[in-house]
C-alpha cells in the first residue's frame, strides 16, 4: 500500500501549543470517549442481537439510541449499598483507578496530521512522548490495581479470586503484548506513536509484520478482559468476579466505563501501530485524502471496524477455561513471539547494513532466520508436554473405565458378561440383552 506523503507530526511539534489549545484538545478527547461509551454499548447490543436474530434495544428513543442514557441515569440514581465488611476507602478508590489510566492511555493516540485549530497549527493528538508505547503499557498495568483492589477490598472469596485472576492474566498477556511491539520498534526505529504512523506511509505493519499483529489481536482480548478471556468476571463460576459486591450503582457504572475504555484503547493502539493510523486505507493519490480533517475519517472507520471485530468475537466464541488461558499465554504466544523477533532482527540488520535496501546477503540472513525460527519452534514442540499429558490422561481414563466394566458383579446369581465400552473412536455401543437383569 503506497500513500502520498502527508504533513505527519513529529516529536518536535509537541509541547509548543498554548494552554487553551491543550485544554480544547483534552475536552474533545474526553467528549469523544464519553460519547463512544454511550453509543458503543448500544452498538454492541444491537450488533449481537442481530447476530442472534433478535431486535436488541428498541424502546428508549429512536432505534433504542437512548437506552445507554437510561441505563446511566438508572445506575446514577440507584441506592448505593456498602457491604458491612468492605474496606470503604479502597472499595471506593478501585473503580476510579480503573477509569483514569484508561483515559490517559488514549491520550497518545494520533487522530490526524497537523491541522489548523482556531488559527493554531497543531497535531491532532493530545500528547506524544519518545516512549509513548511504553506509557500505554504502563497505564494498562496500573489499571489492574483497580481490579485487584476491588476484589481484595470487597472481602468476598469470589471477588478475591476474580482479582487474583486478573493480576495473573495481565502479567501473562502484557509480556506477550510487549513482545509483539518489539518488531515494530525495530522497523520504525522509535517508540513515538506519531512517528510510527509516519513510518507506515509505504506499508502497514499489519501486512509487513503479520505474526506480530496476530499475537497482538489475541493479547488485546486478554488485556481488555473481553470474551473469550473475561475470566476475572467469570459469571459461571465466580458469580461476578471482582465486581460481585458492587451493586448496580455509580461505582458499577465506573467499572463498566473502565472496561469499555480499555477496549477503545486496545482498538486505538491496533489502528495506530499496525493499520497505518489516520492514513488512508487505500493507495489514494489525492492530496485532500491525506491532509486537513479528512484523515480523522480514516481513523474513525478503522477504529469502528476493529471494535466490530471485538464484538463479533464476543458473539461467536465461548469463554475458555483458566488453564487454557494461561497455557496459551505462556506456552504459545511468548515462545512464538520470541522466535519471530529473532527473524525480524536478522532481516532488519541486513536492511540497515545495506542502507535500507534488500541487497547482498539478505536471502542468506532471511534463510538463517527461518532456520532459527523453525528450530526454536521444534524445540518448543518437543518439550511442550501439554498434549502428551492430555493423551496419557485420556488413555488412563479409557483403561480405568474398561477395567470397571469388566469387573461387573453378578446379577441374581447369574454371571453377567462384561459390557462393551461406550462409543470410542467409531466403536458402536452394544445394548444389554433384554433378558438380563
Highest-scoring range by mean pLDDT, 109-113, 325-329, 388-392: 109-113
pLDDT at 312 over 60: yes
Name the residue with higher pLDDT: 382 or 157. Answer: 157
Q: How confident is the model at residue 164 (pLDDT cuts 50, 70, 90)?
A: confident
Residue 171, SS3 per DSSP? helix
Grid coordinates given for 78 = 440507584
**Of 190, 234, 261, 338, the residue nearest 41 (C-alpha):** 261
How far is 229 from 163, CA to CA, in rounded Å? 14
Q: Which helix (H) or strand (E) holds 351?
A: helix 334-353
Question: How many angstroms from the chain centroid is the CA of residue 286?
Answer: 34
Name the residue with higher pLDDT: 407 or 169. Answer: 169
> What does the pLDDT average to over 94-116?
86
Cβ–Cβ under 8 Å, residues 188 and 346: no
Percent of the chain topping pLDDT 90: 4
> Given the DSSP bridges, would you call strands 120-124 and 112-117 parallel, antiparallel or unpaired?
antiparallel
> What does the pLDDT average to over 23-37?
89
> What does the pLDDT average to over 251-273?
87
How far is 255 from 147, CA to CA, in rounded Å? 9
Dump pLDDT digits (tens) for 203-223. Answer: 888 888 888 898 899 888 887
Cβ–Cβ under 8 Å, residues 139 and 178: no
> What does the pLDDT average to over 13-36?
87
On average, the pLDDT of the chain sits at 78
Region of poorest pLDDT, from 5-14, 163-172, 300-309 = 5-14
Q: What integer pLDDT is reported at residue 309 of this predicted model?
A: 92
pLDDT at 273 over 60: yes
Residue indicated by cell numbers 509537541: 14
Name residues whose C-beta falls within 8 Å of residue 200's C-beta, 6 or more positions apart in sequence: 276, 277, 279
Q: What is the largest CA-CA distance in the chain?
A: 101
Domain boundaries, the chain: 11-320
> What does the pLDDT average to over 166-180?
84
Amino acid at each position: 500500500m503506497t500513500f502520498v506523503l502527508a504533513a505527519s507530526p513529529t516529536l518536535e511539534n509537541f509541547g509548543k501549543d498554548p494552554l487553551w489549545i491543550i485544554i480544547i484538545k483534552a475536552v474533545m478527547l474526553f467528549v469523544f470517549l464519553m460519547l463512544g461509551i454511550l453509543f458503543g454499548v448500544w452498538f454492541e447490543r444491537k450488533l449481537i442481537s442481530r447476530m442472534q436474530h433478535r431486535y436488541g434495544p428498541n424502546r428508549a428513543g429512536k432505534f433504542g439510541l437512548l437506552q445507554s442514557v437510561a441505563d446511566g441515569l438508572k445506575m446514577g440514581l440507584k441506592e448505593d449499598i456498602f457491604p458491612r465488611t468492605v474496606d470503604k476507602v479502597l472499595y471506593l478508590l478501585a473503580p476510579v483507578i480503573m477509569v483514569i489510566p484508561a483515559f490517559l492511555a488514549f491520550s497518545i493516540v494520533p487522530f490526524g496530521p497537523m491541522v489548523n485549530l482556531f488559527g493554531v497549527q497543531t497535531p491532532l493528538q493530545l500528547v506524544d512522548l519518545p516512549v509513548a508505547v511504553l506509557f500505554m503499557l504502563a497505564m494498562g498495568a496500573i489499571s489492574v490495581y483497580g481490579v485487584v483492589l476491588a476484589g481484595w477490598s470487597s472481602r468476598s472469596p469470589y471477588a478475591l479470586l476474580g482479582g487474583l485472576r486478573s493480576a495473573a492474566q495481565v502479567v501473562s498477556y502484557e509480556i506477550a503484548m510487549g513482545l509483539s511491539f518489539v518488531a515494530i520498534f525495530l522497523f520504525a526505529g522509535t517508540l513515538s506513536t506519531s512517528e510510527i504512523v509516519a513510518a507506515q506511509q509505504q506499508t502497514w505493519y499489519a501486512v509487513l509484520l503479520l505474526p506480530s499483529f496476530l499475537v497482538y489481536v489475541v493479547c488485546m482480548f486478554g488485556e481488555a478482559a473481553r470474551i473469550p478471556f473475561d475470566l476475572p468476571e467469570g459469571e459461571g463460576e465466580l458469580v461476578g468476579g471482582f465486581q460481585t459486591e458492587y451493586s448496580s450503582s455509580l461505582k458499577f457504572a465506573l467499572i463498566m466505563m473502565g472496561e469499555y475504555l480499555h477496549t477503545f484503547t486496545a482498538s486505538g493502539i491496533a489502528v495506530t501501530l499496525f493499520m497505518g493510523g489516520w492514513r488512508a486505507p487505500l493507495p489514494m493519490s489525492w492530496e485532500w485524502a491525506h491532509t486537513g480533517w479528512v484523515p480523522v475519517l480514516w481513523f474513525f472507520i478503522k477504529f469502528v471496524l476493529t471494535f466490530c471485530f471485538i464484538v463479533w468475537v464476543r458473539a461467536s466464541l465461548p469463554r475458555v477455561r483458566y488453564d487454557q488461558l494461561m497455557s496459551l499465554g505462556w506456552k504459545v504466544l511468548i515462545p512464538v513471539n520470541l522466535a519471530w523477533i529473532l527473524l525480524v532482527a536478522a532481516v532488519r540488520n541486513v536492511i540497515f547494513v545495506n542502507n535500507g535496501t534488500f541487497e547482498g546477503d539478505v536471502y542468506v540472513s532471511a534463510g538463517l532466520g527461518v532456520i532459527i525460527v523453525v528450530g526454536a519452534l521444534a524445540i518448543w514442540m518437543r518439550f511442550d508436554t501439554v498434549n502428551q499429558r492430555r493423551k496419557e490422561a485420556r488413555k488412563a481414563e479409557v483403561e480405568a473405565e474398561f477395567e470397571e466394566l469388566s469387573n461387573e458383579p453378578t446379577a441374581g446369581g447369574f454371571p453377567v458378561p462384561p459390557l462393551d465400552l461406550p462409543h470410542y473412536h467409531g466403536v458402536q455401543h452394544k445394548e444389554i440383552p433384554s433378558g438380563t437383569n
